[in-house]
Structure formats: C-alpha cells, structure tokens
Amino acid sequence: MDTAAATPLSFRDATEADVDALVALVESAYRGDSSRAGWTTEADILDGQRTDPEGVRDIVRSPDSRLLTVEREGRIVACCQLEHRGEHAYFGMFAVSPGQQGAGLGKAVLAEAERRARETWGATEMHMTVISVREDLIAWYERRGYRRTGRTTPFPYGDERFGTPRRPDLAFELLVKPLV
C-alpha cells in the first residue's frame, strides 16, 4: 500500500488564505493535461476554467456554505462545497488531486461531507448536479447511494466562468441521496 494513502486525513473548513490553493486543486482535477492523470477530468468536454478565486471566496464567505478542505501531511489533497438549503444540503466543487485519485480518498471525503451535512444542518438529503454526459462519474455516485432524478438544467453556454464547452449537448443532471 502506498504510504500517502495510509497517512491520516484532516478535514477543516477553508479560509480565505486557502483560496489560491483550492482554485489550483480544482483546476488540476478537471482541466488541462494535468487533469488527465486522474479519472475525473473534463478536458475532453470543456476548455477554460472550472472555477476562479472570486467564486471560491464567495463560498468561503457565505454563512450557508462551507468549503470542506482535506489535507494529508499538511498538503491540501481534496475539497468539496457544502451548502445548506433547508431540508437538504448541496454538494459541489468536489475535487481530488489527480495523483491521489483511485485510492478511496474521494469515498472518504464524500462520506465525511454527508456526515457533516446531516449532523450540522440536520439535512435529510444531499443534492448535487453532474454534467449528464459524465456517465462514469454518475455511475461512481450511484454506487454510493445517489440516484438519478432525470431532472436537468441547461449548461450555461456563453458563461466562461463555467468553462468553454467542446460539445453542444451538455446539461446538469440532479442526483439525490437520502441521508437518514
């Protein structure tokens, strides 16, 4: 077993001092050639940015959100957004460093996010949106108890904050998991 995988994880809420490192992590997991080292890349369907410092800072500052930051040996290796939305919590901006993917880190982060949403806010469901053509990623979430709802929202074509689409058929599909 790789020693990095055996090293304990620490979880904390992000601060404004983490913004640049978190933007770099998210970009490395989803965009460009570096993202191809992991399996979560969106490089074949989207160019451009995945997030920016302003967007990350907004999540960190919001009273109803937190950006769960995951460290191993003092280095940020994963993150995810949690947002309190009444009876449910929203899970987003999930990123695992490409070199750390495939060893169970994502499962551990998702489980901790679900636990925190349930215990902190009393959320009874977790909601997330996934680009509908990401069948491999949707299947990964389904194996963790999420179900496809068939409800979609259009991809924000023309809004470069979300990237530059390389295909015309992108949409976000809502996935839901009961947390009780």
Enumerate long-range contacts of 132-139, CB under 8 Å, 24 or more apart.
Answer: 132/170, 132/171, 132/172, 132/173, 133/45, 133/167, 133/169, 133/170, 134/42, 134/45, 136/39, 137/40, 138/173, 138/175
The whole-number average pLDDT for the span 93-120 is 94
Indicate the burial class of 27 (C-beta count within 10 angstroms; 0-12, 13-18, 19 or more). Answer: middle
> Of residues 168 and 37, which shows the higher confidence score?
168
Position 65 confidence tier, pLDDT thresholds 50, 70, 90 = very high
- As to burial, measured by CB atoms within 10 angstroms (0-12 exposed, 13-18 middle, 19+ buried), residue 125 is middle
Phi, psi of 92 (to 5 degrees): -155, -175
Give the chain's radius of gyration (CA, Å): 16
- Asked whether the whole model's pTM tops 0.95, one would answer no
Q: Is the pLDDT of residue 9 over 70?
A: yes
Distances from the Cα of 51 to the Cα of 25, 54, 72, 141, 161, angstroms: 10, 8, 23, 22, 6
Q: Give yes or no for residue 131 having a pLDDT over 70.
A: yes
Contact present, 95 and 80 (Cβ < 8 Å):
yes
pLDDT reading at 35 higher than 70: no
pLDDT at position 112 is 97
Find the Cα–Cα–Cα–Cα dihedral 164, 17, 83, 119, rounded to 10°: 140
